[in-house]
Structure formats: C-alpha cells, structure tokens
C-alpha cells in the first residue's frame, strides 16, 4: 500500500477537528448537546405520564386531570421530539449547508473514509482500533454505511411526518399520497429513534474518536421533583384563569379588524 500523502494527513486533521467539534463540541447545536436536550425533555414527559397513572380515576372513565393541559403537553412532546429527531437525521454533510446532524456527519466520514488509515489515525487519535474494524490498514467504510442505515430505519418515518405535518403544512392532496404509516408517530417510534441515535453517536466517540462513552440523559438537580405534587393553581384562581382566556379571545378576534384598518390607511396615504 502506498504511503499516505501529507496532503491526505492535512485533510484528515482538518476533518477530524470538524467532526469532533460537531459530535462533542460545546456549541449548543453539537450532536451530543442536541441529544441531551432531546432526552431531558423525554424524561420530563415520562415523569408526567407516570404521574397520570397515579391520578384519581373518574367513575365514568378517565382521570382527574385537566384534559386541555395534558393534550397540550402530549402534542408539544411528540412534535418537539419529532423535530429534534428530524434535525439529527438531516442528510446534508457538514460542509454543505453547515447544519449539524448525526446522519450528515456519518455521510461525511464515509465519503472521506479513505483518509482513515492507521498511519493517519496515529497522528490524530490516541485510541487503539479493534482489528474487526480494520481492513488493509484502513477503517472499514462499511461501518459507516451500517450506522447510516440504522438511522434511516429508525428515523425516516418520523422525518417524513415532520416534513408533512409539523414543519410544513402540506395540502390534503399531498398528504393523500402518503402511506398511512407516515401520518402519525408513536411513543415506541420515538424511543426507538432515541435509542439508535444515542447508540450511533456513542459508537463514533467510543470506537472512532476518543474511547469515551457518554450518558445521554443529563443529571437532574437534587430538588428536581420539588412541588410536583402541588396543583397548577389554587381553587380560588380558576375564575381569574377563565377571565384571561376570554381577554385573549377578544384580543385575537380584533386582529382581523385591525388589519383591515391598516390596509385602508395604507391605501389612503
């Protein structure tokens, strides 16, 4: 095998720094920082959902919890999780749109896999690579093909759901062309995507970059369950909440009239 060129080594050093920055950097959009937020939100929702199981059961079915509030919590959770998964699933490599995504990172590593020779890696990495990951003194590119495939299998349906129902308001005609499996997402799909995303990101850092495994769920503060048994508001404040709802209803109703007036004033100037 021909010796690695200095040009290849320089390119790998540049890529290596970029890849590590995107994976574990301090920026809020680094891959692991995105993962931490995703799992933190999921952990909070799981606590809320578990608390529902301990709520008072109503004689006619259901539980003694406000349906409007909990429907809002569920909708925000599922849409938020789907959006975060969609961001990590973005397929553009880092150098294209400058978006930080796990799938894009893998595609860029795979495209530059020829640079991952043992000779080059000894200059940028201090870890030892298992023989099963090496062929002809190069990291096997099929590793990254496999990791990308795992992301596609677990995240593709969620990504399509986001594109059609969350990030964009697709038309009825456009939605009608979709298979029914893309029209909704489940908690099981969310958890499976999280599992694969965390596994793939950890594999990259454990076996390719730094031999470090990350716990994906941040540690909560000691009092993270303080006041969780308290009601959302005291009984005496319920009438005030109703008043605030009606005030917003009246305010939003007038927005159409205000815009009509603004357009008329614009045309008269």
pTM: 0.89
Q: How many CB atoms lie within 10 A of CB 154?
A: 22
Q: What is the mean pLDDT of residues 93-120?
A: 87
Asked if residues 101 and 92 have their Cβ atoms less than 8 Å apart, the reply is yes
pLDDT of residue 179: 65
What percentage of the chain reaches a pLDDT higher than 70? 93
HEC profile for the chain? Answer: CCCCCHHHHHHHHHHHHHHHHHHHCCCCCCHHHHHHHHHHHHHHHHHHHHHHHCCCECCCCCECCCHHHHHHHHHHHHHHHHHHHHHHHCCCCHHHHCCCCHHHHHHHHHHCHHHCEHHHHHHHCCCCCCHHHEECCEECCHHHHHHHHHHHHHHHHHHHHHHHHHCCCCCHHHHHCCCHHHCCCCHHHHHHHHHHHHHHHHHHHHHHHCCCCCCCCCCCCCCCCCCCCCCCCCHHHHHHHHHHHHHHHHHHHHHHHHHHHHHHHHHHC
Q: What is the mean pLDDT of residues 144-150?
A: 97
Q: What is the mean pLDDT of residues 84-104?
A: 84
Residues 109-123 as b/e (b if ≥16 CB within 10 A, e otherwise) read bbebbebbbeebbee
Asked if residues 48 and 73 have their Cβ atoms less than 8 Å apart, the reply is yes
Q: Is the pLDDT of residue 189 over 60?
A: yes
Confidence of residue 5 (pLDDT cuts 50, 70, 90): low
Q: Is the pLDDT of residue 33 over 80?
A: yes
Q: Is the pLDDT of residue 96 over 80?
A: no
Q: What is the mean pLDDT of residues 63-83?
A: 94
Q: Between residues 96 and 39, which one has the greater pLDDT?
A: 39
Contacts of 199-205 with CB under 8 Å at 24 or more apart are: 199/150, 200/102, 200/106, 200/147, 200/150, 200/151, 201/23, 201/31, 201/32, 201/35, 201/102, 203/147, 204/23, 204/105, 204/106, 204/109, 204/147, 205/23, 205/24
């Amino acid at each position: 095998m021909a010796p690695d060129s200095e040009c290849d080594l320089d390119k790998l050093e540049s890529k290596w720094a970029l890849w590590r920055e995107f994976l574990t950097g301090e920026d809020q959009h680094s891959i692991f920082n995105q993962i931490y937020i995703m799992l933190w939100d999921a952990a909070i929702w799981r606590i809320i959902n578990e608390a529902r199981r301990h709520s008072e059961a109503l004689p006619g079915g259901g539980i003694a919890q406000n349906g409007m509030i909990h429907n809002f919590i569920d909708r925000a959770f599922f849409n938020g999780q789907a959006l975060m998964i969609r961001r990590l699933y973005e397929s553009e490599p880092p150098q294209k749109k400058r978006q930080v995504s796990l799938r894009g990172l893998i595609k860029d590593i795979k495209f530059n896999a020829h640079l991952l020779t043992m000779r080059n890696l000894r200059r940028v990495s201090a870890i030892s690579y298992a023989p099963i990951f090496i062929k002809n003194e190069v990291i096997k590119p099929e590793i990254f093909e496999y990791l990308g495939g795992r992301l596609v299998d677990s995240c593709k349906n969620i990504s399509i759901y986001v594109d059609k129902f969350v990030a964009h308001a697709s038309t009825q005609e456009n939605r009608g062309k979709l298979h029914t499996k893309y029209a909704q997402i489940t908690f099981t799909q969310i958890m499976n995507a999280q599992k694969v995303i965390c596994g793939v990101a950890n594999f990259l850092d454990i076996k390719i970059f730094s031999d470090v495994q990350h716990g994906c769920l941040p540690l909560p503060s000691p009092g993270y369950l303080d006041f969780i048994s308290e009601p959302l508001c005291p009984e005496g404040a319920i009438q005030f909440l109703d008043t605030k709802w009606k005030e917003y209803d009246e305010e939003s109703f007038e927005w159409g009239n205000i815009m009509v007036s603004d357009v008329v004033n614009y045309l008269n100037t």
